[in-house]
Amino acid sequence: MRDFSYLRATSADDAQKAALQAGAVLLAGGTTLLDLAKCGVTEPETVVDITHLSSLDGIAVDEGGATIGALARMSEVADHREIKAAFPAVSESLSLAASAQLRNMATMGGNLLQRTRCSYFREPGVFAACNKRNPGSGCSAIGGVTRNHAILGTSDACIATYPGDLAVALVAFDATVEIGSRRVPVDDFFLLPGNTPDRETVLEKGDIITAISIPASAAARNSTYLKVRDRQSYEFAAASAAVGLEFEADGRTVRDIRVALGGVATKPWRARAVEQALVGKALDAETVEKASSLAMEGAVSQGGNHYKIELAPRVITRAIEQLGLKVGGLA
C-alpha cells in the first residue's frame, strides 16, 4: 500500500473542501478503500477520514418512509426494528452481506460505492488491461474466466458485475441518494459501463453522499431479499432478487410488485418487464415462471457465466413464491 497523508474532517464543509484536493479520497468504513489500496487498485495521496462527523449517522423512520444517514453502519440498519418492519428486503440485503465484522465497519454510503469483485480489475500487477482502472487499456475479463461476470448491462468495454446487495433492494423500492441538497434516484445514481466503465456513479469530485431515503409502500413492507451463492454465507451473490408484493383487496390479484436483481448485472438491476407482466394478474406458478424469464431479455453470456441466465429467473420465481405464500395470494 502506497503511503498517503491522513486528514480527519471535523465538519462536513471541512470534508468537502479536503475532498476537492487532487488525489484525495474519503474514508468511511474503510472496507473497500483499504482493500483496494492494498491491491494497488487505488493509490490515494490524501485520505480524508469522515467517520468522526457525528451528524451523518442517524436513522429516522416514519409513515412516509426512512431516511438513513450515510455513515450509519450496515449492522445498525440491518438490526433496526422499524427498518425490519417497513423494509424487510433492505434489512435482509444488509444482514446477508459480508460478515458481522464488516457490517460493523461498512457504512451505508460506502456500501453503495463498493467496487466490483472482477478478479481482473483487482489484480493490476497481473492484468494491465482494464478499462475500469485504466480507460482505453482493454478488458482482460472478456475471453477470460467469467463465472462471476455480468450478463445484463454489459458493453464491449466492461462486463464487471456490481457486487452489492443493499443497492438492489434500494432500487426495487425507488430509494434516492441524497448528495447534500441534491436527490438522485438510485436507478439514476449508478451508470451503465458503456464506453466509460471508469465512471460508475453520477458523483463528481468533492460530492459527499449524506443520506439515503426510501419511500414507504405496501410492497416494501411485504418484501424479501433472496440471495443464492456458492457458499452458504459470507459470499457475494451468484444471483439475488429483491421482491416486494402488494395484492388488491381480493387478496390474490397483484396491485404492485417490485423486482430487482443482483449478482448478474453491471449495476443494481430493476426488472421492470417482470413487474409489468404481473401487475393485474392472479399469481400461479406458471404465470410467475413465465414473467420471471422476461428479466433475461437482452442477456449476453460470456460462457463461464451462462448458468446465470437460468439461475436468475429461478431466483426471482422462488422469491415471489415465498412472498406470495406468506401473504396468501399464490394460487
CA–CA distance, 296 with 312 (Å, rounded to integer):
8
CA–CA distance, 318 with 263 (Å, rounded to integer):
16
* Residue whose CB is less far from other proteins, 224 or 302: 224
* Residue whose CB is less far from other proteins, 181 or 232: 232
Minimum Å gap between C-beta 131 and other proteins is: 24
Strands (E), 15-168: 24-27, 46-49, 59-62, 65-69
According to DSSP H, which parts of 173-230 are helical? 186-189, 218-221
Minimum Å gap between C-beta 5 and other proteins is: 6
User: Strand order of the sheet with strand 211-215?
Assistant: 59-62, 65-69, 211-215, 176-179, 182-185
Minimum Å gap between C-beta 34 and other proteins is: 5
Residues lying near other proteins in the complex (CB under 8 A): 1-6, 8, 27, 30-31, 34-35, 37-39, 47, 49, 51-52, 75, 98-102, 104-105, 232-234
CA–CA distance, 117 with 235 (Å, rounded to integer):
11
Question: 10 is written with which cell numbers?
Answer: 471535523
Match 407482466 to its residue by C-alpha cell.
277
* Residue whose CB is less far from other proteins, 48 or 277: 48
* Residue whose CB is less far from other proteins, 55 or 101: 101
The amino acid that residue 60 corresponds to is A
Question: 215 is written with which cell numbers?
Answer: 419511500
Minimum Å gap between C-beta 108 and other proteins is: 16
* Residue whose CB is less far from other proteins, 106 or 177: 106
* Residue whose CB is less far from other proteins, 235 or 256: 235
Minimum Å gap between C-beta 112 and other proteins is: 18
Distances (CA, A) of 84 to 114, 268, 290, 302: 23, 21, 30, 37
Minimum Å gap between C-beta 33 and other proteins is: 9
Question: 261 is written with which cell numbers?
Answer: 436483481
SS3 at position 285: helix
